[in-house]
Amino acid sequence: MKKRYIFITGAAGGFGRATTRLLIDTGFHVFAADINPLPEEIRQIEGVTPVRIDVTDIGDVNKAVEVVKGVTGCLDGLVNIAALFDQFPLAEADPQAFEALIRTNLTGAQNITSALFPFLYAGKGRIVNLSSQSALVPMPLMSYGFSKKIFDDWNTHLRMELALLGMKVIVIRAGGHKTPFLDRSAEVLSKIDESSKYAGLMRYARDKGLKMLVEVKNTPESMAHAIVKVLTARHPKKVYNVNVDTVFRVLSWLPEGLRERLLVSHLKKQMTSLK
């Protein structure tokens, strides 16, 4: 049987670890890539090739290409999981924080995808891009959601381009899951700039957000199964929503103009009551 190869970014995180294990069990060889060290239990699995990479660093990306080249000439799939969570008002954004968010959540995915494209083309491989439920509904103060909305649009353009070559690109929008990324989200939400004109509203968003995070029950294994299904399905859909919260689903169904009026009106009332 022909050996199958998958490259995963963000492999040291909750989704990445669970997906790597499941892919190995399914018979794939996995290039497990992350800026952070891989846990020993992942590094030691037969069929895993660890790759240390900062996807925003072209030098690291080029080194990753050489690692792949030393093992195989083709890839059956690329899974873009690596992401950064941050939350701030765009009007008051620190330039470095804004750049880091876009570089990691968009530019990094573009860097590794274009670098590995020759291997993916050779194997007629699939690209699976992990997005977020926050991309479904643009909301004030949700800069992470803004970055994922751009990521979704990038995915759409890439999907159309690769369709011309008989290749598939699929986006998965993830709801909340119990992973270290959830802990990072809680940490970021808890840091309030009290000098911000939106400080009261950010506290309100923090309280709502932390309540939602506590209620999250979904495991990273459920996402891993979704990713492997997308990689192996004969006719995968273009978009999958996995464990998306009901609030995001309902808001995404509303006409854009109505949704925006409702959100702004509701948050204005909150700002007034919090003064």
Of residues 224, 233, 189, 240, the one with CA closest to residue 81: 224
Is the residue at 239 inside a domain? yes
Query: Rounded to a whole number, what is the largest CA-CA distance in the chain?
Result: 66
How many domains, in total, are found in the chain?
1
- The pTM for the full model equals 0.92
Q: Supply the pLDDT for residue 234.
A: 92
Going by C-beta distance under 8 Å and a sequence separation of 6 or more, which residues neighbour residue 181?
Answer: 13, 14, 15, 83, 85
Q: Supply the pLDDT for residue 275.
A: 59
Is the residue at 136 inside a domain? yes
Q: Supply the pLDDT for residue 82.
A: 94
Q: What is the CATH number of the domain that holds 47?
A: 3.40.50.720
Is the residue at 199 inside a domain? no
Q: Would you state the structure tokens that stand for residue 109, as one six-digit string? A: 């995915």
Is the residue at 158 inside a domain? yes
Q: Supply the pLDDT for residue 151.
A: 96
Q: Residue 96 is part of which domain span?
A: 4-177+218-254
Is the distance from CB of 86 to CB of 188 less than 8 angstroms?
Answer: yes
Q: Tell me the average confidence (pLDDT) per consecutive run of 10 residues in the chain, 275 residues long.
A: 90 93 95 94 91 96 97 97 92 94 96 98 97 91 92 97 97 84 76 85 79 77 94 95 89 92 88 69
Count of CB atoms within 10 A of residue 170's CB?
Answer: 22
Is the residue at 231 inside a domain? yes
Of residues 128, 150, 130, 129, the one with CA closest to residue 138: 150
Q: Supply the pLDDT for residue 24.
A: 95
Is the residue at 189 inside a domain? no
Rg, Å, the chain Cα set: 19
Q: Are strands 28-34 and 126-132 parallel, antiparallel or unpaired?
A: unpaired
CA distance 47 to 3: 10
Q: Supply the pLDDT for residue 53.
A: 96
Is the residue at 262 inside a domain? no
Is the residue at 204 inside a domain? no
